[in-house]
């Protein structure tokens, strides 16, 4: 998640002149008239359902899944299930960029609609998008687009914060795509080049699961709950008119996609090892018990009922000996840091992997996380911070993003259960944004992920420790080098993080 844009918008309301209030004081509530719809359609004759039978018939009460660890595989899996869909496609994301890979995925969705597939696209409204373009897509008879928790001022969104900050500060951070009620993909990725290894300036290290079997109806129910909720507003309610693309516009769009498919990145997709497995239906799946966990859409109305945080806290508390957390935006709060230190002192193996200051794309988050590092280290918590560029030294400019940045959100309990989803261990995920994730009960898979990450930490991360004076040091266990201040970070970046940590903004992070 690119939080930098979010925080810029978040604080805009505090610096805009008071006189601007007169421009938005008469804003009217947005129309929310819409038709309800549900996922329960006849999918038994679809190719996706039929192709899943050889797998699901052998594991009727289990969920099958396959990890999508690299960006190209993650994009390929999405394109594959969209291409295979014949009945329904339900798509739900926080960020959906207007870039090359996003355009390609949208083109696939449009082609699915042309085949008669019902496409429901639910997007959070924090990101600036072209409302008319979305309305044009939604004008297709088989496509519906809704924006979640929309801003009333469509021209200058930050102005809406002045009169409706508490509502608009709460966003839908869920990420899921469901095809024909048969396959689903969820995890940490949004839709954009940086999530699919197609951006030359930045790449988010992320993690998804493609799933089928028993857990899929839970995904569909979750989507329906959000789709039919009050905050989900049809794009038609936010624009003056909507028209389908003209034949000329469609021709230009198609030509743009054909041109993109000739790029080096697009050509490389065809040679990805996953392609043959998808074509031959030989993808090696794990089969186990799984459960979808999610906040209700009414968390944005300040509802504290049945928070995902509570469910995750209960699970973590039940860990017998090992808690392994990977979180890009880790702000444990003082209470959370003390609990982690207490657990480590009691003998539990507590390991935290997060971004370093250099690799974090939001220095304010790092500023508040840094306040609790010493407390956790003193308690015996193992802390690792991902390098900006594993194996290389990269100059990091103040406020710019790194070449690589951790974005995966997962944790492993006792090397037997693993959570994969959108939840960051910070106050925003806990109390403000809605979140989604799946807990998988698989010692085999959990152990594999645990070992893979643990083995990569030697090369890819700094190990933090305390020296004889009780000061934090960063250990590069590959080179043997030790740092006494934030590695790979300039003075301005360090100052920015320090100042952010002094501001009363922890609850917003």
Please identify which residue in the block is written with the tokens 């024909």. Answer: 180
DSSP state letter for 160? G
Give the residues across from 438 on adjacent strands.
292, 420
DSSP state letter for 96? B
Question: Around Cβ 476, how many Cβ atoms within 10 Å?
Answer: 16
Cβ atoms of 120 and 89 within 8 Å: the answer is: yes
For 147, phi then psi, to 5°, come to -105, 135
**E strands, 280-369, where?**
286-294, 322-326, 349-355
Counting runs of H as helices and runs of E as strands, what totals does the chain give? 18, 20
Q: For residue 166, give the 3-state DSSP assignment.
A: helix
Give the residues across from 382 on adjacent strands.
351
Copy the structure tokens of residue 437: 């994730």
Give the residues across from 59 on adjacent strands.
none
Residue closest to 425 by CA, chosen among 372, 388, 476 = 372
Helix H or strand E encompassing 278: helix 273-280
- Burial class from Cβ neighbours inside 10 Å (0-12, 13-18, 19+) for residue 375 reads middle
- As a whole number of angstroms, the longest Cα–Cα distance in the chain is 72
Please identify which residue in the block is written with the tokens 């790979």. Answer: 488
Catalytic amino acids? Answer: 173, 175, 180, 407, 409, 414
Distance of CA 97 to the CA centre of its chain: 13
Q: For residue 474, give the 3-state DSSP assignment.
A: strand
DSSP 398-450: TTPPPSEEE---EEEETTTEEEEES--SSHIIIIISB-EEEEEE-HHHHHHHH
Side-chain-facing half-sphere of 60: CA atoms under 13 Å: 1
Cβ atoms of 188 and 173 within 8 Å: the answer is: no
Copy the structure tokens of residue 34: 């819409």
Query: Which spans in 115-199 are helix H?
Result: 131-138, 161-168
Query: Which spans in 57-98 are helix H?
Result: 71-84
Side-chain-facing half-sphere of 284: CA atoms under 13 Å: 2
Please identify which residue in the block is written with the tokens 């037997």. Answer: 416
């Amino acid at each position: 998640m690119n939080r930098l844009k979010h925080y810029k918008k978040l604080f805009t309301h505090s610096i805009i002149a008071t006189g601007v209030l007169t421009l938005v004081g008469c804003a009217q509530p947005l129309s929310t008239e819409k038709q309800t719809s549900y996922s329960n359609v006849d999918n038994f004759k679809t190719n996706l359902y039929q192709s899943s039978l050889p797998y699901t018939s052998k594991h009727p009460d289990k969920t099958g899944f396959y990890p999508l660890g690299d960006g190209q595989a993650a994009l390929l899996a999405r394109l594959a299930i969209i291409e295979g869909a014949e009945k329904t496609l339900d798509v739900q994301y926080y960020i959906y960029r207007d870039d090359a890979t996003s355009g390609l995925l949208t083109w696939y969705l449009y082609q699915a609609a042309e085949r008669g597939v019902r496409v429901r696209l639910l997007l959070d409204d924090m990101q600036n998008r072209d409302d008319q373009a979305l309305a044009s897509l939604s004008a297709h008879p088989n496509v519906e687009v809704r924006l979640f928790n929309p801003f009333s001022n469509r021209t200058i969104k930050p102005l809406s914060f002045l009169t409706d900050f508490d509502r608009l500060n709460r966003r839908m951070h869920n990420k899921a795509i469901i095809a024909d009620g048969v396959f689903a993909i969820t995890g940490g990725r949004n839709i954009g080049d940086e999530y699919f290894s197609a951006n030359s300036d930045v790449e988010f290290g992320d993690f998804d699961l493609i799933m089928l079997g028993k857990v899929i109806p839970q995904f569909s129910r979750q989507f329906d709950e959000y789709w039919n909720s009050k905050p989900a507003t049809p794009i038609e309610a936010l624009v003056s008119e909507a028209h389908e693309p003209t034949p000329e516009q469609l021709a230009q769009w198609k030509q743009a996609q054909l041109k993109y498919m000739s790029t080096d990145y697009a050509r490389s997709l065809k040679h990805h090892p996953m392609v043959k497995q998808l074509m031959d239906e030989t993808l090696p799946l794990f089969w186990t018990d799984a459960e979808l966990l999610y906040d209700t859409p009414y968390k944005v109305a300040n509802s504290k009922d049945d928070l995902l945080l509570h469910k995750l806290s209960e699970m973590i508390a039940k860990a017998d000996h090992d808690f392994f957390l990977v979180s890009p935006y880790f702000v444990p709060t003082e209470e959370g840091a003390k609990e982690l230190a207490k657990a480590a002192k009691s003998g539990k193996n507590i390991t935290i992997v997060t971004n370093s200051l250099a690799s974090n794309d939001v220095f304010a988050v790092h500023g508040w996380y840094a306040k609790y590092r010493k407390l956790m280290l003193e308690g015996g918590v193992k802390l690792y911070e991902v390098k900006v560029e594993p194996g290389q030294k990269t100059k990091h400019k103040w406020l710019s993003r790194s070449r690589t940045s951790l974005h995966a959100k997962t944790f492993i309990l006792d090397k037997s259960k693993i959570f994969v989803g959108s939840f960051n261990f910070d106050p925003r995920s806990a109390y403000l944004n809605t979140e989604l994730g799946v807990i998988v009960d698989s010692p085999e898979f959990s152990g594999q992920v645990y070992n893979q990450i643990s083995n990569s930490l030697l090369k890819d991360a700094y190990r933090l420790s305390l020296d004889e004076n009780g000061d934090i040091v960063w250990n590069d266990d590959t080179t043997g080098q030790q740092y006494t201040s934030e590695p790979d970070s300039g003075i301005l970046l360090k100052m920015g993080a320090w100042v952010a940590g002094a501001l009363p903004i922890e609850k917003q992070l």
